[in-house]
Every structure is written in structure tokens, then in C-alpha cells.
A and B are shown apart, each in its own frame.
Chain A
């Protein structure tokens, strides 16, 4: 049983569209990290959110931590082919608990 559920598992959209990826749990986390993994590479940290209700922006990516620190979302505006990859969320408890990932494909 995954402690962190990510949805959707797979998403294929056209360049320019917007999308949201969700990371949900029934457990509270001290912090939550988002990573992106490209084929043949290890995951790379995008952002860490710590405070309930926190919103962080990284160019076209917006990350939000739920008020209760049990869930998070990643919103991408005007997706580009370079955004293609596997997006992973990981919650701290204190060791990192990982979601199964969302495979995102952006078609030109």
C-alpha cells in the first residue's frame, strides 16, 4: 500500500496546455519534496515545501502544500516538451516516503 498516492499515473498532453499532478496521503508530513526524473537519470529535486498552505513557484511550475500537510499539488502552466519526465513526490516522516510517480509526456 502506497502511503503517498500520486495521480494521474500517466498524462500525455499537447504543448501549451495546463496540467495538475496530485500527491495525497492520510498521513501528515514534516515536509514534502518534488523531484523530476528523466530517462536514464536519477531524480532531481525541484522544490521542498514545509509549511501548511505554502505555495512556491518555479517559473511555470507552481507547488502547493495542503493546509493539513497531508497533500500537495504541482501545476504546470503552458507545458513544453522539455517538461516531459517522471514527477515524483516524497514526504518526510522523517525518512522520505515516495509516491509512485506521474509520467508526463508533452507533445509538440
Chain B
């Protein structure tokens, strides 16, 4: 079965712009989590959605937002981009309601802010 699909793979934006990233989870998975990965900070949890509801949120400013659709696909949006937002954004899907079930990751979206 198809894995987690993230689009686009690469993105270059300028400061002040906004960006929307997309994640299609594995069929049947209802939980989608988003992470920011940078060399210095590692994986930082952004938020998690389960059945269209945000269930957990990490410690990121309000410029970072997300949503999940009825088909479990998820989007995250970053407004007023800053240079420090340059990172690999990873999406992970899992089947169960518990967050400790195995997470399947997409290949990520590499965002560069210039």
C-alpha cells in the first residue's frame, strides 16, 4: 500500500510570505502528526490531528497552524515566514488513537526561506 506522501518535496520562499504544506497519510490511518527537523534542534513536534481534531500541540508560535480533512489528509500553514523557519517538515501518520503506535513518516518537505 502507498506510504505517506508529502508535497511539495522542496520549496523556496522569501521572508514574510506564507506557505502551505500537504500530507496524505497511509490509507486507513486517522492520526497525522507534523514535525520540524533542523540540524541543531532535531525533531520538534508541531501538532497532531486525529479525526479532524487537533489533539496535541507543540510549543510553536501561532504562525504555525494546521488542519485535517475528512479523508485524513492534512495541511500545515506557516504565515509571515522567517529565516529560522527553514527546515525539513515531516509528516507522520499512524493508525491508532494512541500516540505511541508506530509512526510512518513521509519523505518531508524541505523549506528554505531566503
Contacts and interface: CB of A to CB of B under 8 A. Distances in A.
A8 to B, nearest CB: 14
Nearest to B47: A95
Contacts of B45: 95-98
Contacts of B70: none
A67 interface: no
Contacts of A33: 100, 102
Interface string A35-54: 00000111111001000000
Contacts, number: 56
A96 B107 CA distance: 19
Interface residues of B, number: 23
Contact of B106 (A2, A30, A42, A48): A42
A33 B107 CA distance: 19
A97 B42 CA distance: 11
A99 B42 contact: yes
Contacts of A101: 42-43
Interface string B10-54: 000000000000000000000001010000111111001000000
A82 B42 CA distance: 22
B98, B100, B103 pick with most chain A CB within 10 angstroms: B100
A48 B103 CA distance: 11
Contacts of A45: 102-104
A24 B104 CA distance: 24
A98 B45 CA distance: 8
Interface of B: 4, 33, 35, 40-45, 48, 56, 90, 92, 98-100, 102-108
Interface of A: 2, 30-31, 33, 40-45, 48, 88, 90, 92, 94-101
